[in-house]
A and B are shown apart, each in its own frame.
Chain A
């Protein structure tokens, strides 16, 4: 009985050693940007799934180039760019002036690329007669100043406000761009009785069922059985529904660009990768994942 045992242990030991060696290789190559066949890509958690899908698809195009993608947040990615440890930083916001200065102090001049766009759709129950809202009305609804649908042209029903949890980037974007209307001095908060649901699916399920509910979500998460609200920046209009076209021509007001930054004017494999990302094949992946492709 004990005879077959040693080989198994042996095999296990070899696997362990191999695993250690391999993981060692991976981390050392990820740290170096001088390696000719690797692109290191890090940053925004909003973009991380998209960046992973791109990296996977690009492997079919150029099998010899390997791309390592990690999240961590826009700030983390840009910090890594400033320190020269990544080739491309992903960000769901533009680089800040102080970050640009820090990069220039380190001898870099970052170049910005808009790689995709992201629209936030406002959704209500199909039975709700309200068709359109302004950013100001949305701000008043979510901060608790308006609490009945009749005040915005609907039936006499209480408004039930749905939001993602506070750790969601979409929550923060909605707070800054809708509740505070982009004003960094504004200290408006979500009303405490806003329901914070742990998932997009939770929001869609409640909106589908409840005629009192209003919710917001990335355009890619909207299902056909809820009603999308047309949004305008001002009461005079125009009220616009979110779509690829209205996001790209700037008419839909709750949309943001998603960026990639390179440390300097890109060359070689990085330039090739960026050109591919802006091309039709990669932009089709953008729509598949529910983001809006860039117009170019």
Chain B
């Protein structure tokens, strides 16, 4: 009896430590980023940091083209992943017969497991040349190619979370709507989707978070030209994202140099952006919980 209670005590403590370790790691990572990145704020004049030219070997550290590039690719990917992901989720949760559903769900999960370097390779040899001929672009290595591939990467996250949310809507809602004479489309559009709204928004946020952090694919297919995007037309031209910049330049940079600190400053910006996206997603999750409580009471 005493032995069980002792092992119980140890296991509880272990699990608790494991749970808190995530927070400790995040904190340590952020501290490290701050230590390595903040010197850049003192070494590079603020006016230069918001400049429009990134060319580190001549000490030009304008970060606007990189931030713009990341935003451009992310918006493009969201335009692909959100409609496609939501429609897939609706089909799986609401429309598909059981057999199709059992085939589709694992297929989507396999898509989620594809290594991004493979998608990048596919982009270089197939998608980029195809898009160049189809749209008569100067080059297929563009923000558009990156957006389409990243959209593909984000779709599985959007589908699985959104499908869970739709699935969680009580059956009584749909039965009541049907009893009132609603068509299938009216039920989906007017009843199920609004009821699952917060879960669906969380799905979109998670998809966006996945896209902002993606590195390998964008480095391979976007051409990495640090041009400041000026509008949606920039989608058809090469661009350079924050993640690709860090990945391409960190390997050769001298430890402790201005360039090194500037790359870590980009890392801090990325960290803050994905933190912001996750906080937004968390807000929607908590809102969903209160709604569920309201329904139950």
Contacts and interface: CB of A to CB of B under 8 A. Distances in A.
A166 B124 CA distance: 21
B141 A206 contact: yes
A195 B129 contact: no
A195 B58 contact: no
Given A189-B55, A212-B138, A196 B240 contact: yes
A200 to B, nearest CB: 14
Contacts of A195: 139, 141, 223-225, 238
B249 A202 contact: no
B248 A198 contact: yes
B238 A165 contact: no
Interface in B62-100: 65
Interface string A158-197: 1010000111000110010000000000000110111111
Given A167-B252, A193-B237, A212 B224 contact: no
A205 B248 contact: no
Contact of B225 (A157, A167, A192, A212): A192
Contacts of B223: 195-197
A125 B36 CA distance: 43
Contacts of B220: 198, 202
B219 A167 contact: no
A70 to B, nearest CB: 15
A217 B219 CA distance: 19
Interface in A241-286: none
Interface in B185-210: none
Interface centre among A189, A209, A213 (most CB of B within 10 A): A209
A106 interface: no
In order of increasing CB-CB distance, the 7 nearest A-B pairs are A167-B252, A195-B223, A158-B138, A196-B224, A160-B139, A209-B129, A193-B225
Interface of B: 52-53, 55-58, 60, 65, 124-125, 128-129, 132, 138-141, 219-220, 223-228, 237-238, 240, 248-249, 251-253
